[in-house]
Amino acid sequence: MAEKQAQTSVQMSEPDSNGLPMRTLPTSDNRKIHLGATVSFHNICYKVKVKTGLICCRKTTDKDILSDINGIMRPGINAILGPTGSGKSSLLDILAARKDPHGLSGEVLIDGAPQPANFKCISGYVVQDDVVMGTLTVRENLQFSAALRLPMTVRQKEKDVRINQVIKELGLTKVADSKVGTQMIRGVSGGERKRINIGMELITDPAVLFLDEPTTGLDASTANAVLLLLKRMARQGKTIILSIHQPRYSIFRLFDGLTLLAGGRMVYHGSAQDTLPYFTSLGYTCEEHNNPADFFLDIINGDSSAVALQKIEEVDLDNIEEHDCGDKTVVERLAEQYCSTSYYQDTKAELVKLSSGKKAKTEKFFRQITYSTSFCHQLKWVSRRTFKNLLGNPQASIAQVGVMFTLALIVGAIFFGVKNDSSGIQNRVGAMFFITTNQCFSSVSAIELFIVEKKIFIHEYISGYYRLSAYFFSKLIADLIPMRTLPSIIFTSVIYFMVGFKPKADAFFIMMVTLMLLAYTATALSLAIAAGQNVVAVANLLLTISFVFMIIFSGLLVNLTSVLDWLAWLKYLSLPRYGLTALQINEFAGLNFCPNVTVPEVANGTCSMTSPFTICTGEEYLAGQGIEATTWGLWQNHVALGCLTVIFLTIAYLKLSFMKKLS
């Protein structure tokens, strides 16, 4: 059998009946995991450090999230059920190799062998929230997943066949070329969005598919349709593991395996059909029309009618307080009863057989992320998607350019036709101060660049779609540069001639370059502040405060030569100062504000004696502001803006890198 192996994750074997290469999961010992993998977990314990007490005297303690969890999940639908805070999402993430290994012990095996190092990249994981690009169509989202998750050795024709197959399997044929939808764009329904999220993971035909609360936000009918879809996939040999809170009965009866958790402890693990008989054997009887899922949660919480009846029959009234002392007592008793059953003993015996001779260290493989495509391929596709998203959001692209053009007309009209007199000096400086301030605050929109797409980025990065560097540079190429360059060009072209700045070509282009550099630097600062933030409003507040203090030290509101020495250093952090200084040198150098004074008088500096104006030349004005009117005095501001841009972008990149490591 001829084999083709991708750079990292998916191996190709003989084509199936549709002509598509079948995908398998490679391991460190070149073993292949085929569809229908068995996931077993052995002695899983998970602790996290929490801080308690007041801020002044906080203590760090360990909190048990999961305690000695054992089980086996085979092909079919395996549900993890439990009340809020029971640890079901933590267990799901551990099985999917997506949990921070600190505080984690135990091992997870796939078909009795150590979990592959890149398991998180080659398995499917559907997160609770939607992580698809709303401005793209259903097909375009699936094409993006296929382009980055399938090996480059797979031909485009085969990828298209796979995409069409997934669309057909998920029942998305009618909406295949419709946009998914955003807050501004009407798109597909909630159930269709959930199926698209599932389809993004099915592109690689994974052996194991994980789903975190797949029914969240869906009505009862839509949720039932999604689970019926998963049931069809399970019958085809897929191993499906999902966490769910409180499913209705029509959903519960679709489960093949059930794991009940409470307080981080396992109270049942086995066949879903055997759950009711098991609890009946413990003395808990489900009423005829009661939902089994609700019944189990009531037992765990200790507030069901069945629990009350059992306690009345088995507990003396004198001792009722001792037995009915809260959730913890109920959970501990249920966990102890389960450990003494044949279900638990049989599971332990099977686990011993699966793990015999196989040892795995959890800490080694949870961190590795591998990729099926090259950096250039990832950069091309992520940049392409970013461009489409930009064009699909007119309120963020076309509107911004339109606002900038309108604002330039208004400002140009206010400062129209400046003259070479004292009022001309004031109007020039006022216009340039407004321009630099506007360039800073117009860059505030960049804070949404990473915050809005944070969930998408984290999921796609962990799943091995692309490298962090490919994502970061694609944002600079496809979003940052065009959205800051084009408005700067338009703004300069309109306002320069309306205001009547120096009529020289080199001065015009220097002003344009200055505004571009200022926009780049302000945007880079926005990204550095916003990266890692969860709330746009918080990042907006921090950035606004930063710009306000920078404006104070821009050189207009206060004469920088008069600032106290211990505060004077703050001017080096002011972005508007560099922009305003460069614009002033570019404009004032060579200007004469004393038209009735002869050139020798200007050169000798005696114009103030024969003219009503105290400032006769642009150089005099610049000297009064402590600005060096030389070529280097101009370009050093550009160099400073360029250096600050690199520094801020580096900070943003490092914060993104730190953020994804914590995910």
The C-alpha atoms of residue 71 and residue 106 are separated, in whole angstroms, by: 12
Angle, alpha carbons 502-507-510 (nearest 5°):
145
3-state secondary structure 108-124: EEECCEECCCCHHHHCE
Are the beta carbons of 264 and 86 closer than 8 angstroms? yes
Tell me, what amino acid is at 129? D
- pLDDT of residue 310 exceeding 80: no
User: Which of 150, 167, 168 is closest to 158 using CA atoms?
Assistant: 150
To which residue do tokens 């009735």 refer? 596
The C-alpha atoms of residue 252 and residue 293 are separated, in whole angstroms, by: 7
Which of 71-75, 102-106, 338-342, 633-637 has maximum average pLDDT? 71-75
Are the beta carbons of 473 and 379 closer than 8 angstroms? yes
pLDDT tens-digit readout, 522-540: 999 999 998 878 888 888 8
241 pLDDT band, cuts 50/70/90, is: very high
Query: CA 116 → CA 23, 125, 464, 558, 566, distances in Å?
Result: 15, 16, 14, 62, 58
Instruction: For residue 75, give every residue at least 6 positions away whose Cβ sits within 8 Å of its Cβ, in sequence order, or none.
Output: 35, 36, 37, 38, 234, 237, 238, 239
Q: Full-prediction pTM beyond 0.85?
A: no
Question: Of the ranges 242-256, 345-359, 608-622, which one carries the lowest mean pLDDT score?
Answer: 608-622
Q: What are phi and psi of 21, to 5 degrees?
A: -65, 135
Burial class (CB in 10 A: 0-12, 13-18, 19+), 423: exposed
Are the beta carbons of 226 and 195 closer than 8 angstroms? yes
To which residue do tokens 């020289």 refer? 504
* Six token digits for residue 168: 């057909």
The C-alpha atoms of residue 516 and residue 579 are separated, in whole angstroms, by: 10
Is the sign of the CA dihedral 458, 464, 469, 475 positive or negative? negative
18 pLDDT band, cuts 50/70/90, is: very low
Residue 270: beta bridge partners?
A: 258
Instruction: Say what percent of the chain tops pLDDT 70.
Output: 83
Among left, alpha and beta (phi > 0; psi -120 to 50; other), residue 237 is left
User: Which of 81, 83, 107 is closest to 94 using CA atoms?
Assistant: 107
**CB neighbours of residue 60 within 10 Å:** 9
To which residue do tokens 């098991």 refer? 278
- pLDDT of residue 307 exceeding 60: no
* Six token digits for residue 504: 């020289």
pLDDT tens-digit readout, 403-436: 888 989 998 999 898 888 778 888 898 999 999 9
